[in-house]
Amino acid sequence: MDFFSKTMKLNNADTVPFLTYNSLEEIKFIKHGFSTRLGGVSKGIFTSMNLAFNRGDNPDDVVENYKRLCNSIGLDFDTLVASAQDHHTFVRNVTRENLGVGITKPRDMQSVDALITNEKNVTLVTYYADCTPLFFVDTKQKAIGLAHAGWRGTVGRIGQKVVEKMQSLYSTNPRDLICAVGPAISKCCYEVDKACADEFYNLTDLNASGFIFPAENEKYYIDLLECNSQVLQRAGVPRENITISDLCTKCNSELLWSHRATSGRRGTMCAVMSIVE
Ligand SMILES: [Zn+2]
């Protein structure tokens, strides 16, 4: 498979592949990764790397997929803590007391679309198949966050909510945040109707011409990644600290799960990140 990206690297392509951001790999106290649809043991429409327990896949296969992914990235399976995403904007602080939640233990909360921590060896896990992952690393206070931003979370400014919660809990200065946005369905492929586009036009403090592109028949193309980047900048993150992925999930649907490319018959990818030293 051809792989080309200026922002991300494809690791372990022949075994259990995962993506990393070049910008985040420079930060030595964290490990991070983004899974692909390859390298797992799931079957049928989930072939082969599916990380979702709630889409009808065999749970034993999903656990095995997590173990393979953790082994490939160099993370301890027992440190995982998962979100419970439903397109809202609640941000949860997690600690070592929460290890295993959503993986080997039942979910103990609803409506968790973002996770943050400042503890070592707590691996945040969030889920994607076209929606936009947001990565946050506070390089001064040594704290991290992951957020799931579909169109609802994006217009709900979940990125800003993560920054604010990191400010209040960890004394994070937004100027010290290194962020990454994506991979997600990109402006080439993300077509929406007028009602959805109007939600983006309502973000009147942002530069809408940068992320809303009117097309024919009252359709619009939305650049979710650029919109999230603008939300982060409004929250105080310098533009030069934000990397935007150049990999569209739908255009790369042999490598990545895309809800739209598969008409919803699909597995799910995850973003993972942990403070390791
Ligand atoms: Zn595309």
**Could you list the residue range(s) of the whole structural domain that residue 154 is in?**
8-185+242-275
Task: Report the CATH number that the domain containing residue 76 is assigned in CATH.
Answer: 3.60.140.10
Listed in sequence order, the DSSP H helices in the chain are: 22-25, 59-73, 151-155, 158-170, 194-201, 224-234
Q: Give domain status of residue 3, yes or no.
A: no
Q: What is the pTM of this model?
A: 0.98
| Number of independent structural domains in the chain | 1
- Whole-angstrom Cα distance, residue 264 to residue 142? 37
3-class DSSP assignment, residue 91: strand
Span from the CA of 256 to the centroid of ligand 1 (angstroms)? 12
**Exposed e or buried b for every residue in 71-96, given b needs 16+ CB within 10 A?**
ebbebebebbbbbbbebbbbbbbbee
The strand order across the sheet containing 177-181 reads 91-93, 114-117, 143-149, 132-138, 177-181, 242-244
Span from the CA of 218 to the centroid of ligand 1 (angstroms)? 20
157-189 pLDDT, tens digit each: 999 999 999 999 999 999 999 999 999 999 999
Tokens representing 155? 């217009």
Q: Give domain status of residue 43, yes or no.
A: yes
Span from the CA of 141 to the centroid of ligand 1 (angstroms)? 36
Mean pLDDT on 76-88: 97
pLDDT computed for residue 2 by the predictor:
78
Span from the CA of 170 to the centroid of ligand 1 (angstroms)? 37
Span from the CA of 62 to the centroid of ligand 1 (angstroms)? 27
117-164 pLDDT, tens digit each: 999 999 999 999 999 999 999 999 999 999 999 999 999 999 999 999
